[in-house]
């Protein structure tokens, strides 16, 4: 009787632990965008509903907005200070380049917000990254002037701009 009780107790405990993990109650928080990116990398197949958007456009100073879609379309908008309209480049992006970008996002844990919120200084702006896969979305940002020091979002921006510009040349 006691052996049967111990086995039943062990099974119930295992089921409780598994239920808590699936419900996110164990302290291990799983990010749905992280899961989606890792699945893309593992399967080496980019879904058409993947959208990666980098944006540091400032109303006064200009900037860059880059959008790369899983459907294989890349768009780069660059506006210099004082220009009324941005220069726009749109090009096809091959799946191998999309997979390289996905791998970089995974390496840099691009779904995580590392920069703490604080009051902006005059004329300071944020650079942001939005990753969307289907219904799953993550947003992160850094202060534009800190990007080189942080060496994270600047790498993503560079990779995205390079991916779109190289295809256009």
Range of the domain at 84: 31-168
Does residue 5 sit in the same domain as residue 66? no
Tell me what pLDDT residue 167 has.
55
Tell me: do 135 and 155 sit in the same domain: yes
pLDDT at 27: 58
Q: How many domains does the chain have?
A: 2
The torsion of the CA quartet 99, 101, 107, 109, rounded to 10 degrees, works out to -110
For residue 7, the model assigns a pLDDT of 60
| Same domain assignment for residues 19 and 91 | no
pTM: 0.81
23 with 39, same domain: the answer is: no
Query: 4 and 41, same structural domain?
Result: no
CB proximity list for 110: less than 8 A, separation 6 or greater: 104, 129, 131, 138, 140, 152, 156
- pLDDT < 50 regions, the chain: 168
């Amino acid at each position: 009787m006691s052996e049967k009780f111990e086995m039943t107790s062990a099974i119930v405990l295992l089921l409780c632990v598994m239920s808590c993990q699936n419900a996110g109650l164990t302290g291990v928080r799983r990010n749905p965008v992280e899961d989606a990116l890792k699945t893309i990398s593992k399967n080496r197949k980019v879904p058409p509903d993947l959208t990666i958007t980098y944006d540091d456009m400032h109303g006064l100073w200009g900037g860059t907005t880059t959008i790369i879609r899983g459907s294989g379309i890349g768009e780069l908008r660059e506006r210099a200070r004082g220009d009324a309209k941005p220069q726009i480049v749109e090009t096809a992006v091959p799946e191998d380049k999309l997979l390289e970008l996905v791998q970089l996002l995974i390496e840099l844990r691009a779904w995580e917000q590392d920069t703490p919120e604080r009051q902006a200084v005059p004329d300071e702006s944020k650079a942001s990254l939005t990753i969307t896969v289907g219904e799953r979305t993550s947003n992160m940002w850094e202060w534009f002037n800190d990007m080189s020091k942080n060496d994270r979002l600047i790498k993503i921006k560079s990779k995205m701009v390079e991916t779109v510009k190289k295809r256009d040349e």
